[in-house]
Amino acid sequence: KNQVEQSPQSLIILEGKNCTLQCNYTVSPFSNLRWYKQDTGRGPVSLTIMTFSENTKSNGRYTATLDADTKQSSLHITASQLSDSASYICVVSVSGGYNKLIFGAGTRLAVHP
Amino acid sequence: DGGITQSPKYLFRKEGQNVTLSCEQNLNHDAMYWYRQDPGQGLRLIYYSQIVNDFQKGDIAEGYSVSREKKESFPLTVTSAQKNPTAFYLCASRTMHFDDQSQHFGDGTRLSIL
C-alpha cells in the first residue's frame, strides 16, 4: 500500500532556531517527492521538488534531502521566523498515469517569539 | 495574476441538500483535481479530469459529482448521499507538460453541516 508518514505530528520552536521535519514513504513506482507549506485556511504551496537522483534541494531557508535507498526525506528550516508557522506536507508522486499524489498528514509547526 | 479561485470560502449545508463548490483557473492547465482534507489526515483525491468533458473517480468519489464543460472550470457537487461532508475541500490544476508536474492549489472551501 502506498503510504507517506511524517514526524513529528506537531512541533513548537522559538524564533531563530532551526528544526528538521521527517518523512518516510513506501510508494512505488516513485516519481518525485515534494514538500508543501500550508498556512491555516489556505491551499498548499510547493517549496521543493526532488527526483530519484537528487539528494538535496534548497529554497531560501528551506533545505530538503532525499535518501532514495532508505525512502526517507527531511525538511530543514534554518533561522526560523514567525511566518514559518504552518503545516508542512510531504507528497510523493506515483510514476505514470494521471499524476497520482500520496500525501502525508503533515507536521504542524508553531514558531514562538 | 494567474491562479486558481475557489468559492465560496465557507459553505454550510442542510440535511438532504446538495451544494456546489466552484473552482476556476486561468493558468491554461489541462488537468484539474478535487481533494478533501480532514484533520490529522493527508489529502484524499475525490475526482480528477485531464481533459474537457472527461473525468475520473478518485479514491473517495462516493457522494460527490463533478463536471468539466470548460477547460477553466471544474465544479464539485456534494450530494445528500455524502453523509460526512464536513471538511476542507481543495481544488488543484496542472499542466500536462512533462517538465512541470506541479499541482497548483486554490485556497479551499470549508464545508460545514447546519
* Partner residue opposite A46 with nearest CB, options B90, B102, B110: B102
Q: Which residues of A touch B109 (CB under 8 A)?
A: none
Distance from CA of B87 to the nearest CA of A (A): 12
* Partner residue opposite A43 with nearest CB, options B48, B94, B107: B107
> HEC profile for B31-50?
EEEEEEECCCCCCEEEEEEE
Contact (CB, 8 A) for A89 and A22 = no
Predicted pLDDT of residue B89 = 98
Predicted pLDDT of residue B19 = 95
- Judge whether A96 is closer than 8 Å to chain B, CB to CB: no
For residue range A41-100, what is the model confidence (pLDDT) as tens digits?
A: 999 999 999 988 899 999 999 999 999 999 999 999 999 999 999 999 999 999 887 778
Distance from CA of B43 to the nearest CA of A (A): 6
Compute the average pLDDT of residues A7-12.
Answer: 97
- A31/B31 touch (CB, cutoff 8 Å), yes or no: no
B36 forms bridges with which residues in the sheet?
B44, B89
Q: Which residues of B touch A95 (CB under 8 A)?
A: none
Predicted pLDDT of residue B114 = 82
- Judge whether B89 is closer than 8 Å to chain A, CB to CB: no
- B48/A106 touch (CB, cutoff 8 Å), yes or no: no
Cα–Cα distance between A51 and A72 in angstroms, integer? 13
Predicted pLDDT of residue A59 = 94
* Partner residue opposite B43 with nearest CB, options A9, A34, A103: A103
Interfacial B residues in 18-57 facing A (CB < 8 Å): 31, 40-45, 48, 50, 56
Contact (CB, 8 A) for B113 and B11 = no
Consecutive H or E run containing A37: strand A30-38
- B101/A45 touch (CB, cutoff 8 Å), yes or no: no
First-to-last C-alpha distance (Å) of chain B: 35
Interfacial A residues in 53-82 facing B (CB < 8 Å): none
**pLDDT at residue B100 tops 90:** no
Q: Is A68 helix (H, G, I), strand (E, B) or coil?
A: coil
- Judge whether B100 is closer than 8 Å to chain A, CB to CB: no
**pLDDT at residue B2 tops 80:** no
Cα–Cα distance between B65 and B60 in angstroms, integer? 11
For residue range B32-60, what is the model confidence (pLDDT) as tens digits?
A: 999 999 998 999 999 999 999 999 999 99
Cα–Cα distance between A87 and A93 in angstroms, integer? 19
For residue range A13-37, what is the model confidence (pLDDT) as tens digits?
A: 999 999 999 999 999 999 899 999 9
> HEC profile for B63-108?
CEEECCCECCECCEEECCCCCCCCEEEEEEEECCCCCCCCCEECCC
- B90/A44 touch (CB, cutoff 8 Å), yes or no: yes
